[in-house]
Amino acid sequence: MNCPACSSKLTPQNAGNLELDVCTESCGGIWFDAGELEKLDHADENAADSLLRPLTNQKVPLDRARGRQCPKCPGTSLARQFYDSQYEIEIDYCLRCGGIWLDLGELETLRQHNKDKSAQQAIIDGFLAAAQRSGAGAGAERLRAVLRLLF
């Protein structure tokens, strides 16, 4: 398979129980087959550390505005979508096979984003538990909505 970002050959690389396709020769992007990103996030967090900083050629210019082709589905363009509601993380994915392409650094950004979300949820849960203990009842749902807006 070839890299959707720079057309170099993708190299299979193990991350825990998963075999991912990484652009080790050039741009450092990672191809996840359908469902692999979710498995990596949960079961193989530590195994992903080796993928965060692969050996790459940092001099390869990438045109992020250029359309990209799915490395598994010939002739199929990758769609782009924002991963978060703040429009900070944009991922490329294939509508046909469900694969996801992450450019160099995007895996680390996603992992940090998910850690931040977990911390935010813990704060919300703490406030809600305190509200329920104090007998807030129906007000707890309003508090939940306000906290989600704040965080």
For 132-142, write each residue's pLDDT tens digit.
Answer: 665 555 555 55
Provide the residue range defining the domain that includes 133.
Answer: 114-150
Give the total residue count for the chain.
151
**Cβ pair 21, 12 in contact under 8 A:** yes
Q: What is the pLDDT of residues 82-141, one digit of tens each?
A: 776 666 778 899 999 999 999 888 888 877 777 766 666 666 666 566 656 655 555 555
Tokens of 68: 């990209």
The answer to whether 124 and 144 have CB atoms below 8 angstroms apart is yes
Nearest to 85 by CA among 1, 151, 6: 151
Same domain, residue pair 121 and 48: no
DSSP code of residue 71 = S
Q: Are residues 17 and 68 in the same domain?
A: yes
The predicted model scores a pTM of: 0.70
Does residue 6 belong to any structural domain of this protein? no
Question: Are 96 and 73 contacting, i.e. CB atoms less than 8 angstroms apart?
Answer: yes
Closest-CA residue to 5 (of 83, 82, 62): 62
Residues of the chain with pLDDT > 90, as a percent, come to 26
